[in-house]
Structure 1
Amino acid sequence: MILADQKKIDEYTAKGYWGTKTLYDLFLENVRNKPTALAAVDPLNREAICSGAPQRFTYGQLQGKVEKLSAFLLKNGIRKDDIIGIQLPNTVEMLLTYLAILRIGAIATPFPVQYRKHEYRTLLNFTEAKAVITMTHILKHDTAKDFVDVKQEVSSLHTIFAWGDNLPEDAVSLDDLDMSHEDVQLANEICASNKNTANDIFTICWTSGTEGTPKGVPRTQNEWIISAYASVDAGAFTEDEVLLNTFPMVNMAGIAGMFVPWLLKNCTLIMHHPFDLPTFLKQIATERATYTLAPPALLNTMLNNEDILKSTDFSSMRAIGSGSTPLSPWMVKGWNEKFGISIINYFGSNEGATFISDPRDIPDAEQRANYFPRLGVRGLEWTTRIAHYFESKIVDTETGKTITKTGMPGEMRIKGASVFPGYWRQEDLNHEIFDEDGFFCTGDLFEIIEKDGEAKFYRFVGRTKEIIIRGGVNISPGEVEYLLQSHPKVADVSIVGLPDKLMGEKACACVVLKNADETLTIEEIIQYFKAHDYAIYKIPEYIHFLEELPRNPVGKIMKFHLKQLVMDSAEERQEA
């Protein structure tokens, strides 16, 4: 399925930004180049996450698994452009699934492992997904059974495929696939006849918005490749790289930061997630990882913990990518001084924003922690190739004029080869999110910073949107408010994010009760969310009671004022 207009394809192809090789072409090249090299490794603690012992595959072994899985999916009716829901932890099955979908030419819509029935039925219906690929259980959650339970509510959904023991009825097992020669031959013929291109949509990922329902972000293979160049160039990846992936492979960090760079560089990918610190540290040492991703809070904690620093072998590690919240200059400098490890600062989004600070372009640790190169601006040269593959500008949110002066915050807008074509099936919204010049309005506030006489840096200031980012996961206040508004004790509610040293932000429910004599506890809210099958991470950690919510003259809740009220009245909050 191609969503980009031909004019855009022709322009970016002529400029050399977009190529003709698909991601599956890259995989086949890797198989031919290094068939016996180690390609993928399961988490050491796999048995605590899902069924089966940890697995290790060479590129040749991985190809055999992928071809068998794709043949099985084709035998069960999956075809090019079919949309497949995926809920898998970071195990080798996630790689097998992505590669099989790429071979068939289907479209993957990956769900975070925290999603539950509410998200399943909403998003599967919205995309008209034909099938789901999952595990029988992920951690303590009976994943396959829940998908089977909602199947009758999704008219497009034909098949639930699952790996693992205790397969529920009406699900199809992916263990021990027994494919005949005829099945494999037919699959080869179907795949050969497919006209898969690098401009076909590969994924529809999900991003939370202030409107409530998550928005689908379709991205092509070429768009993912462009975004992946940022990690490849900033980390100076080679074919000897051992990438340790700690982020879920459902959005920008996991796909553009790990999966696609793995394909581009023909290296080794070690899987990890949900995060477990002892397993993470052991994987660094035993697998000789050279690069990983970690949130700022974790890097701060480890650097402050002498027991961790003394007991872990970091000698193989060259660089660590981090982001989602501001980095500490002390932390960036400390990892380099103690271990020679470069901390790379990332700012990205599913829609295609990709800003990155690495030691080559910004060698000073303090500057790298706080600033990003002004990528996509003519006249400024940077080492990463993506600097020339898109354009960026900052716009005054009141006047709509482009800001060229330093120290004046404005909305970041981007346009180019990494930027998505628009949200899935939301034409009205898509007319609003792109300006008259075709730039995507990110909703993120940046300012231009001058150093050494040159206005060559950007600094992230905040968000015009109300998204709460908890441990790198986006939470939509609107979605949480929508559910809590239906609680029988709640008259009015608003959700705000509060600063948190470990998680970045935590959610607080600001509640006006219908009856002042009643009470509402965090435990009641938790049970209410569970009863409505909402993902657990969306449950507010705090509750703050008010007689009324602060509103402006036109009735809009003043979120900033409300947030300040809550922060000033910590003793009035209940904490989960």
Structure 2
Amino acid sequence: MRCHPPERARDYLDRGWWSGETVDGLLRARVAEAPGRQAFADPPDTASLIGRDPVRWTWRELDEQVDALAADLLARGVRAGEVVAVQLPNSSALVQAFLAIVRIGAIVMPFPVAYREHELIPMCRRAGAVCLLTTTGHGEHRLAAQALRVGAEVPSVRFVLSRGQHEPDGTVRWPDEPIGPAGRELLDAHLAAHPADVSDCVTICWTSGTETDPKAVPRCHGDWLVMALGTCHAAALGPEDVLLSPFPMTNMAGISGMFLPWLMVGGVFVPHQPFDLGIFLGQIAQESATYTVAPPALLNMLLRNEEILSTVDLSSLRTIGCGSSPLNTPMVRGWHERYGIDVINFFGSNEGIALLSDPRDIPDPGQRATYFPNFSGPAVWSTPIAERVSVRLHDLSTGERITAPGIPGELRVAGPTVFGGYLGEGTGAPLDRAVFDDDGHYRTGDVFAIDGEDGRFLRYLDRAKDLIIRGGANISPAELEDLLAAHSGVAEVAVVGVADAVLGERVCAVVVPADPADPPGLDTLLGALRERGLASFKLPERLELVDSLPRNAVGKVLKRELRDRFAAPVPLGR
């Protein structure tokens, strides 16, 4: 499957926007450069995840493992262009599976380990998955048995390959032996007949479905590697770096944020999942991690718990990537001032949005928490993304392009990071005007405003669907969340609009208190917001305290659930 029309791919290559490299080509280059150098280190709880003791691989050993699985898949009939579903935790098995599938030109369709039949069956059916690669179990969930049930419901699935112990009848066992002569001959003949192309599809990832049904996003080598190049630059990654990856390799955060940058620079990849704070902090110290990623809620929590951090050696850690929800200034500034660790602000998507604020281009931590570079403005940026990606803001009602500061508009993007269309729309076909505008820019549904001196920045406001319209005035939940998250009594917060017969919507703050025994009251939070000079029409009129925020499998807050949960009117001021 080609993800873009030939003329578009040629244009990207001619402009130098795509390098022509492929994922498997990167792996082979690293093996050729330093075959005996360490490439990979499993998490210490690997045995409980995939039924195998933790491994440490050199580049040569990793390559041999990839060859063995690639030959096994070919022997079982998997061919180039076919879709292979993968449901594995971050581990050596997942890295091996991803690279083996890509090596033979098949397409990786990675799923979070939290997914069940309800999600897996329609997704596998729609994509035509030919097999599932998984593990015996994950916690209490029997993943291999589940995969067999999925296969029974999806006619295209031919087998289930399981990595673990005590696999159920009907699965085939993960190959543990090195590739033999017959496998080598089969693999070499296949690779000679199917050379990789930069526009070949390598993954089908699914959108998170926080507001609508998930969509399948095909991405090619070129798409992914441009985004990964931006990460490498932002984090100043090189061959000496150790990348600790706690985000699942199911979307852009795990793939172009950690996995592919590792292949680009040739450092050491250290996976982590499911999240365990003790193990995670231990891996930073034990593996001398120099770069990792974490959600804002975790970084906020750690800053407020110096007792925890005082027991951990963070001296190797240079940079932390952060995203998935808006960052707040005290957190970004706090990590910089207390620990000398810079936080990179990422804003991305499976479809190919690739905005990032890094210490090179935005050295001030406060600005970095709030702003992203306006690549279409007058400022010059060092990130390689800047010259490759076109970003525009368009009026939400008229569609007219916005060039003046302070006006909310939908972000639209085009360029070599952006996908060619959702699965089912015919990737490589003419652009779907419901998704792309007449100039070929992807309609993101995210609302930004131009800001800063000479309009050099973009400031995130919210998802278009999440904006609260109170009495005709637009209110950004993200702005309120940023301010409320800085309050010492707030561990996590989500702001949603709840229906109101008079004003249309009112503002409701849903808060996880830092101390459940002493939660903040609405008056306390309103006082803090007033001290920050917030306009009165934006102030929350309702406070709901919860033990936790509902999230999907990749950690995004499910605001539709909060809106449904708190839809019933209550007396104001609660």
Q: CA deviation at 1:4?
A: 0.6
What's 1:402 paired with?
401
* Range 298-307 or range 285-294, more displaced: 298-307
- Partner of 2:310: helix, strand, or coil? helix
Contact 2:377 2:455 in 1 (8 A): no
Distance 1:421 1:394 in 2: 20
What's 2:434 paired with?
432
Q: Taking structure 1 as reference, are residues 151 and 172 closer, same or farther at Cα in structure 2, changes over 3 Å only?
A: same
1:202 maps onto 2:202 in alignment: yes
Aligned counterparts, 1:223-262, within 5 A: 223-262=223-262
- Partner of 1:146: helix, strand, or coil? helix
Aligned counterparts, 1:383-422, within 5 A: 383-422=382-421
Distance 2:508 2:35 in 1: 48
Distance 2:53 2:178 in 1: 20
Contact 2:38 2:57 in 1 (8 A): yes
Q: CA deviation at 1:359?
A: 1.2
Distance 1:537 1:20 in 2: 33
1:97 maps onto 2:97 in alignment: yes
What's 1:368 paired with?
368
Q: Taking structure 1 as reference, are residues 502 and 461 closer, same or farther at Cα in structure 2, changes over 3 Å only?
A: farther
Q: CA deviation at 1:167?
A: 0.9
Cα RMSD, aligned residues only: 3.0
Contact 1:239 1:267 in 2 (8 A): yes
Contact 1:498 1:567 in 2 (8 A): no
TM-superposition CA deviations, 1:113-144 (whole Å, max 9, x none)? 11001111110100011011111112221001
- Partner of 1:132: helix, strand, or coil? strand
Contact 2:21 2:221 in 1 (8 A): no
Aligned counterparts, 1:485-564, within 5 A: 499-500=510-511
* Range 281-290 or range 138-147, more displaced: 138-147
Q: Which amino acid aligns with 2:398?
A: T
Q: Taking structure 1 as reference, are residues 212 and 448 closer, same or farther at Cα in structure 2, changes over 3 Å only?
A: closer
Contact 2:391 2:411 in 1 (8 A): yes
TM-superposition CA deviations, 1:39-67 (whole Å, max 9, x none)? 11111222343322211111010011110
Distance 1:404 1:237 in 2: 34
* Unpaired stretches in structure 1, ≥5 consecutive residues: 471-476, 478-495, 504-521, 527-533, 545-558, 572-576
TM-score under structure 1 length normalisation: 0.82
Distance 2:554 2:254 in 1: 21
What's 1:37 paired with?
37
Q: Taking structure 1 as reference, are residues 174 and 242 closer, same or farther at Cα in structure 2, changes over 3 Å only?
A: same
Q: CA deviation at 1:94?
A: 1.0
Distance 2:416 2:510 in 1: 34
Contact 1:329 1:369 in 2 (8 A): yes
Contact 1:164 1:175 in 2 (8 A): no
Aligned counterparts, 1:314-463, within 5 A: 314-375=314-375, 377=376, 379-426=378-425, 430-451=432-453, 454-463=454-463
Distance 1:210 1:308 in 2: 32
Contact 1:114 1:536 in 2 (8 A): no
Contact 1:410 1:447 in 2 (8 A): yes
- Partner of 1:10: helix, strand, or coil? helix
Q: CA deviation at 1:92?
A: 1.1
Contact 2:3 2:219 in 1 (8 A): no
Distance 2:572 2:275 in 1: 33
Q: Percent identity, please.
A: 39
What's 2:176 paired with?
176
Distance 1:193 1:321 in 2: 40
What's 2:520 paired with?
none
Contact 2:134 2:161 in 1 (8 A): yes
Q: Taking structure 1 as reference, are residues 564 and 119 closer, same or farther at Cα in structure 2, changes over 3 Å only?
A: closer
Contact 1:297 1:502 in 2 (8 A): no
Contact 1:498 1:563 in 2 (8 A): no
Q: Which amino acid aligns with 1:276?
A: D
What's 1:553 paired with?
none
Distance 1:383 1:542 in 2: 38
Q: Taking structure 1 as reference, are residues 502 and 232 closer, same or farther at Cα in structure 2, changes over 3 Å only?
A: farther
* Unpaired stretches in structure 2, ≥5 consecutive residues: 468-476, 482-495, 497-506, 515-545
Distance 1:272 1:132 in 2: 22
Q: Taking structure 1 as reference, are residues 159 and 346 closer, same or farther at Cα in structure 2, changes over 3 Å only?
A: same
Contact 2:41 2:54 in 1 (8 A): yes
Q: Taking structure 1 as reference, are residues 293 and 566 closer, same or farther at Cα in structure 2, changes over 3 Å only?
A: farther
Distance 1:448 1:39 in 2: 42
What's 2:288 paired with?
288
What's 1:465 paired with?
465
Report how many residues are paired: 502
What's 1:511 paired with?
none
Contact 1:69 1:177 in 2 (8 A): no
Contact 1:83 1:106 in 2 (8 A): yes
What's 1:488 paired with?
none
- Partner of 2:434: helix, strand, or coil? helix
